[in-house]
Amino acid sequence: MPAYLEAILAAHRARASLDRRDLEATAEQAETGGPPRPFVDTVRRAAARHGMALIAEIKRRSPSKGDLDPGLDPARVAADYEAGGASCLSVLTDTAFFGGAPEDLAAARAACALPVLRKDFTVGGLDVCDARAMGADAVLLIVAALDNAELESLIGLARRLGLAALVEVHDSDELARAVGAGAELIGVNQRDLRTFEVDRRRARDLGAAMPPGAVAVAESGITGPDDLRRLAESGYHAALVGESLLRAEDRRAAVIELLGA
């Protein structure tokens, strides 16, 4: 596991260890919010209609790329993405490392009708409850950050709360763990978390190994229509794209151009 990911997870686990809320009571409270939007079904429908769904990401910065747009307006970005044809949103809510906040997710979701993924480093059940409470429709689970028991438990809790769980993998062993834990929505990160290099063979190879019925999402290193076409041919239903869209002067036009495939 790379040093930066270790540091992020250590910080999140340290914070989680100080959280004394009762999980069951917090889950019951989270369930009282409005119904989640159908993340997986939206991806399936868009993929069936257009060949590929786009999950467009909102983030202010990243440990590897630095500042992207620290002063962005999440509501405006969400509206631009929706107008361009994105199917879902991904919103970074980590503050210390990505400059995000739960308020970014709430503002983005209120500005559009798209289902929204809470992109953060989920290390326990309370994180899943918080995702539901802040209005998320899906939660990210990184296989490299969780043991098998944690992964299975968090997928089950997400389902109980009506959330989709995007289970992120980086290699065949992690894919096997995700499938064994019951993952339905599986993301393949093409970026090597040790070198930060993008390896497009990873998406191709793991796409061929996806179990029947799984909804496959490619992540990282996706910049143009040719990338989407290649991923669709490899069996992917969706692509999660952030940096290339966030750096565009006209984000609506950037989404339209990306979806030109």
Q: Which amino acid is at 149?
A: A
Structure tokens, 120 = 């953060």
Residue 33 confidence (pLDDT) = 82
For 53-71, b/e burial (b = at least 16 CB within 10 A) is bbbbbbbbbbbeeeebeee
CA distance 134 to 129: 9
CA distance 163 to 204: 28
Q: In the block, which residue shows the tokens 């950037």?
A: 254
Which position among 62, 90, 174, 219 bears the catalytic label? 219
Residue 261 confidence (pLDDT) = 54
CA distance 171 to 45: 27
Which position among 62, 168, 174, 234 bears the catalytic label? 168
Catalytic-residue membership of 249:
no
Which position among 57, 62, 90, 174 bears the catalytic label? 57
Residue 60 confidence (pLDDT) = 95
> Does the predicted TM-score (pTM) go above 0.85?
yes
Domains of the chain with bracketed CATH: 3-258 (3.20.20.70)
Catalytic-residue membership of 119:
yes
Residue 193 confidence (pLDDT) = 64
Q: Which among 254, 243, 248, 258 is positioned nearest to 59, based on CA atoms?
A: 243
Residue 213 confidence (pLDDT) = 93
Catalytic-residue membership of 220:
yes
Catalytic-residue membership of 31:
no
**Burial of 148 by CB count in 10 Å (0-12 exposed, 13-18 middle, 19+ buried)?**
exposed
pLDDT by position in tens, the chain (length 261): 455 678 888 999 999 889 899 999 999 999 888 899 999 999 999 999 999 999 999 999 987 778 888 899 999 999 999 999 999 999 999 999 999 999 999 999 999 999 999 999 999 999 999 999 999 999 999 999 999 999 999 999 999 999 999 999 999 999 999 999 999 999 999 877 666 677 778 888 999 999 999 999 999 889 899 999 999 999 999 999 999 999 999 999 999 999 985
Q: Please measure the distance between the N-terminal and C-terminal CA atoms of the chain and give it in whole angstroms.
A: 35
Catalytic-residue membership of 65:
no
Residue 65 confidence (pLDDT) = 78
Residue 202 confidence (pLDDT) = 87
CA distance 49 to 51: 6
Catalytic-residue membership of 148:
no
